[in-house]
């Protein structure tokens, strides 16, 4: 029996184009000014130092911004980049520059599952802060009360079975009681290796999705939960 659902965001609850065409360009446009303005603040400084370490070069902030902009273009899922983006996006949501895109079927079924007592979690490469901001500012209102917890890549990479084992331990449930939803075959393979149930969302947006052996759903309405 499914007792908990862990969901990906991009391509699953939310459209690829919102992330690629709204969020990523927004963070690219604001990166330089954000680093100059907030760089001296200790939490931002730590993120910048981590980014510098990852890049391997002792660069100044101006050069580091160029590295961060390249990482955005290359869709790198690096922790410090994701943490910086999360802070910038929170400003964007607060200013009303955009709202968090969530498919109508996802918002409705998440509410339904929550009302039925299922435990709901998010696992995304976006930072926990970015996840909370997105679900707090949706056209369907604040969806954050639906979730019992959030995971980002601090628990491990989304294509690594160990990350799903760690999530299972955190949830304290047998693996077959947990359903993981994603639009990426390798993420689903990793979750299945850890013993979780899986379903592949095929939203019909972007490149063709190869679901492999995973059950396919075109929307949350097609999930048998």
Ligand X SMILES: CSCCC(=O)C(=O)COP(=O)(O)O
Binding site for ligand X (CB under 6 A): 8-10, 19, 23, 77, 82, 124-126, 130-131, 134, 158
**Measured between alpha carbons, how far is 7 from 147 in angstroms, rounded to an integer?**
10
Scanning 89-97, 125-133, 160-168, 179-187 for contacts with Mg ion by CB under 5 A, the matching segment is 179-187
Q: Does 100 bind Mg ion (CB under 5 A)?
A: no
Give DSSP secondary structure letters for 119-182: EEEEE-SS-HHHHHHHHHSBTTB--GGG-SEEE-GGG--TT-HHHHHHHHHHHTS-GGGEEEEE
Angle of helix 24-38 versus helix 79-95 axis, rounded to 10: 100
- And the tokens for 47? 């993120």
In the list ligand X, Mg ion, none, the entry touching 130 (Cβ below 5 to 8 angstroms by class) is ligand X
Q: Which is nearer to ligand X, 113 or 151 (CB)?
A: 151
The CB-nearest residue to Mg ion is 11
The CB-nearest residue to ligand X is 126
Residues 180, 182, 186, CA angle at the centre, nearest 5°?
100
In the list Mg ion, ligand X, none, the entry touching 214 (Cβ below 5 to 8 angstroms by class) is none
Q: Does 126 bind Mg ion (CB under 5 A)?
A: no
Q: Does 11 bind Mg ion (CB under 5 A)?
A: yes
Q: Which is nearer to ligand X, 51 or 134 (CB)?
A: 134
In the list ligand X, Mg ion, none, the entry touching 55 (Cβ below 5 to 8 angstroms by class) is none
In the list Mg ion, ligand X, none, the entry touching 19 (Cβ below 5 to 8 angstroms by class) is ligand X
**Measured between alpha carbons, how far is 115 from 109 in angstroms, rounded to an integer?**
10
CA R_g for the chain: 18
Q: Which is nearer to ligand X, 8 or 55 (CB)?
A: 8
Scanning 3-11, 92-100, 109-117, 144-152 for contacts with Mg ion by CB under 5 A, the matching segment is 3-11
**Measured between alpha carbons, how far is 132 from 117 in angstroms, rounded to an integer?**
21
Q: Which is nearer to ligand X, 113 or 127 (CB)?
A: 127
- The residues binding Mg ion (CB under 5 A) are 8, 10-11, 183
């Amino acid at each position: 029996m499914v007792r908990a659902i862990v969901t990906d965001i991009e391509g699953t609850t939310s459209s690829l184009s919102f992330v690629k065409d709204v969020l990523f360009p927004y963070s690219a446009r604001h990166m330089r000014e954000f680093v100059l303005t907030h760089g001296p603040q200790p939490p931002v400084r730590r993120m910048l130092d981590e980014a510098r370490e990852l890049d391997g070069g002792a660069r100044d902030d101006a050069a580091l911004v160029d590295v961060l902009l390249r990482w955005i273009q290359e869709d790198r899922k690096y922790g410090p980049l994701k943490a910086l983006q999360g802070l910038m996006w929170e400003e964007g949501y607060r200013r009303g520059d955009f709202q968090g895109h969530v498919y109508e079927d996802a918002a409705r079924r998440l509410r339904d599952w929550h009302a039925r007592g299922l435990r709901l979690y998010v696992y995304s490469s976006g930072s926990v802060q970015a996840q909370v901001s997105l679900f707090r500012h949706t056209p369907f209102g604040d969806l954050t009360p639906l979730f019992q917890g959030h995971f980002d890549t601090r628990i491990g990479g989304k294509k690594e079975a160990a990350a799903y084992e760690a999530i299972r331990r955190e949830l304290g449930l047998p693996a077959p009681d947990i359903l993981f939803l994603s639009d990426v075959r390798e993420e689903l393979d990793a979750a299945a290796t850890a013993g979780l149930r899986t379903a592949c969302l095929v939203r019909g947006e972007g490149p063709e999705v190869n679901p492999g052996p995973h059950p396919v759903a075109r929307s949350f309405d097609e999930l048998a939960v």
